[in-house]
Chain A
């Protein structure tokens, strides 16, 4: 009894005759989300998108007071945290939502791997997703330096040094990243340009493609569900799925707000390029497993520097991850993919990442504390 073309107001009709709103509406109403036991994983992408929107909003707000120079950056954030009304809240939300966004992004990626949602014709969706992961990590890396405090300063020295290890192009890349031979005020300005202009441009392009491809191909049904025949139920995206999405987003917002209120982001001490590095320098948690792995490598493997091997190893791993849709192609006449063992590979990868992260955080810090370093 629901009329397919509900009666509309004059404004809607006016816009429709100019925009073609009815076409958009038809597409939106046709979109449906398959219902099966793995449906919950469909929420992760939207959740990451929501947290990204929070990042755009709070990021723009921070630009109103932030000053990107070595002499003013730390002081301007001090001003935001102490003088500007709700400044502490905006900055803390920016920090917490960033961390949560990277977390949901990882969960989203692994759910796609386990449910094999990258299969044809969704290779490009996977590829743009991989691009989004790289850009998001770059956002995290560049944003970390912007407060210009001791921890960020030294973490950036170490982090960029790792780039310098890459054979052939490493040295040049290092100079481009740092804006010179060393981490300095020039690096801060550069990271600011990346964080507030270059990466946003890239992410908007990739995100548009990614979301378009998701719309074009619809939600992927996992092979295990496919094998039992197509799922019987489908949930209309508008409004049913979107409303469920909104509940999740509201929950995420509440979690971020609570974390920001109870654990406001600290500022630490202002960076001093001529002070000795404080003990216990750590990267952000999502880089910890790589950082820790590099620590365990011996100085030389088969006559090549251990770090070089490590960096190349991560490069190869990333390449394999990008090529997964082509490595895991279904064979002729096959329903779903039979390569169940691949899932054990992903379990191994997750276990490795968790173990290395755990070791990174529990490893004994050398006797001299931060006090001794000053």
Chain B
């Protein structure tokens, strides 16, 4: 420590060894400490801000899909069957009821986001993860799901099916 004490005060660091209590710190030292602190703060912000923005993934256009056209003829879906399709970035499920009506729903279980499937043996939409049941209207009827599946509108055309969100 001895060579340290022989040095002029200006050569010492900002730890304020020159005085123990805040009021003993010279004005100039206090100003320099303030300058150092705000400078370090400004640098940190200018480094951290771009990093925070970078980590936030950019919006993907697809996620705002409101309508998709499935390249399959309506007759390809037999009564009492269903299949999962892409609705933008989300899964959807299209089913044909035993009575022959075509219906489409959001394919993500409202419980914990698993993808649902159609159970032909019980004619229900079913989630395998935690045994959640939805009826043919997408209403949660058994198990943990808290809400019904969102229903989409279906328009049948000659060789394709148009599924769109109900606004």
A residues in contact (CB < 8 Å) with B? 1-4, 6-7, 29, 32, 61, 64, 83-87, 89-90, 233-234, 236, 238-240, 243, 250, 253
Contacts and interface: CB of A to CB of B under 8 A. Distances in A.
B28 interface: no
A234 B4 CA distance: 9
Contact of B1 (A2, A61, A89, A239): A2
A85 B4 contact: no
B3 A234 contact: yes
B43 interface: yes
Contacts of A2: 1, 4-5, 12, 17-18
Contacts of B13: 236, 238-240, 243
Contacts of A233: 3
B22 interface: no
Interface in B31-61: 43, 50-51, 53-58
Main secondary structure of the interface of A (DSSP, over half): mixed
Interface of B: 1, 3-5, 11-15, 17-18, 20, 43, 50-51, 53-58
Contacts of A4: 1
A8 B1 CA distance: 18
A86 B58 contact: no
Contacts of A29: 1
A350 to B, nearest CB: 35
A86 B1 contact: no
A64 B55 contact: yes
B56 to A, nearest CB: 7
Contact of A85 (B5, B12, B58): B58
Contacts of B43: 250, 253
The 7 closest A-B pairs by CB, nearest first: A239-B13, A2-B17, A86-B50, A85-B53, A83-B58, A86-B54, A86-B53
